[in-house]
């Protein structure tokens, strides 16, 4: 399945050799092949326009699309459409849409930012997920967006302004060193990672980028970020940890290690049982998180088995990047 002229990056080759399920490995490899023809996807920015208004604008521009059944604000464009065709549209220039992969839309849906909540986006640039959270909370959440790089922080501020996300405090800070004076009701940690889930067969640059050295660097950063996230999370608060990787070292293993250190925290399972509990005293998942879980249960969002029950590992396909999601809460 590998392109002879462009072998898989060493990280993936190593993962392939150790993958426990041959059928799943075939799905992953076929997904990376199909990803070479992945269509453009975008999100209606409901801070500025409704999804129906975006649909009408796309139709007027002659751009064919499909609506995403599990997220009414998401669109998949016809495979012949390229991003450049979208850049000239008024809805793009005015910030009424945001080009975003379907997989990267999942973490804000899982977190489900609440009205009036203090919400932290730990690794916020370029701002897609931050603005999505602002839209999900209808602009009423108190958002803090961290970015340590000055150029990326400027880009973040520019995008948030363009998208109409006003109630956001952009902090130029390394989130690993965020002062413990701060505390938050909800935290999104979309951590820096190797990006193995975004691999597309035939990508000649990937082997130079996805290396064991990068994995060592990202796992150290992820460990420190998760530790600080769970430290500044308020009791009763929720944290969503995500990566665009399929490697267990960046995913399940990081969550297990973090929960072993933070005994006052536990996993919130992203399962149908948690979304629709039969126990009347149990707190169900928020509506957007429950809809996500239901989409997984129906097979609308393809997933891999994973080693940690209650987490989600999205299988790479033509439509989806490989992605990981885990939700945690602080119990006291």
Tell me the catalytic residues: 244
Quick check: 239 and 259 in contact, CB under 8 A? no
Closest CA to 230 of 242, 243, 239, 221: 239
Quick check: 164 and 135 in contact, CB under 8 A? no
**Distance (Å, whole) CA 128 – CA 233:** 22
C-alpha pair distances (Å), 293 with each of 192, 207, 217 = 24, 33, 31
**Distance (Å, whole) CA 169 – CA 113:** 16
Closest CA to 101 of 288, 314, 281: 314
**Distance (Å, whole) CA 117 – CA 233:** 12
Closest CA to 331 of 274, 286, 268: 268
SS3 70: coil
């Amino acid at each position: 399945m590998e392109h002879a002229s462009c072998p898989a990056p060493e990280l993936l080759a190593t993962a392939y050799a150790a993958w426990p399920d041959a059928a799943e490995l075939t799905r992953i490899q076929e997904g990376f092949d199909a990803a070479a023809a992945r269509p453009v996807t975008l999100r209606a920015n409901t801070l500025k326009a409704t999804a129906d208004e975006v649909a009408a604008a796309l139709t007027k521009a002659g751009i064919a699309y499909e609506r995403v059944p599990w997220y009414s604000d998401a669109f998949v464009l016809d495979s012949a459409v390229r991003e450049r065709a979208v850049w000239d549209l008024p809805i793009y220039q005015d910030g009424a849409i945001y080009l975003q992969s379907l997989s990267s839309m999942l973490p804000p849906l899982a977190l489900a930012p609440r009205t009036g909540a203090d919400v932290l986006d730990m690794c916020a640039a370029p701002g897609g997920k931050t603005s999505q959270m602002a839209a999900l909370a209808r602009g009423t959440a108190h958002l803090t967006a961290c970015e340590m790089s000055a150029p990326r922080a400027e880009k973040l501020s520019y995008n948030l302004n363009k998208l109409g996300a006003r109630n956001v405090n952009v902090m130029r800070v390394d989130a690993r060193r965020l002062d413990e004076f701060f505390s938050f009701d909800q935290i999104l940690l979309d951590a820096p990672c190797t990006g193995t889930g975004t691999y597309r067969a035939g990508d000649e640059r990937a082997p130079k980028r996805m290396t064991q050295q990068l994995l060592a660097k990202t796992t150290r950063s992820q460990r420190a970020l998760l530790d600080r996230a769970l430290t500044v999370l308020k009791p009763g608060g929720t944290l969503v940890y995500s990566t665009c990787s399929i490697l267990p070292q960046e995913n399940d293993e990081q969550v297990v290690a973090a929960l072993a250190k933070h005994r006052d925290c536990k996993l919130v399972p992203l399962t149908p049982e948690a979304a629709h509990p039969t126990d009347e005293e149990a707190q169900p998942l928020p509506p957007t998180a429950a809809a996500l879980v239901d989409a997984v249960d129906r097979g609308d969002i393809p997933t891999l088995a994973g080693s940690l029950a209650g987490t989600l590992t999205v299988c790479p396909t033509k439509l989806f990047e490989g992605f990981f999601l885990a939700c945690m809460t602080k119990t006291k």
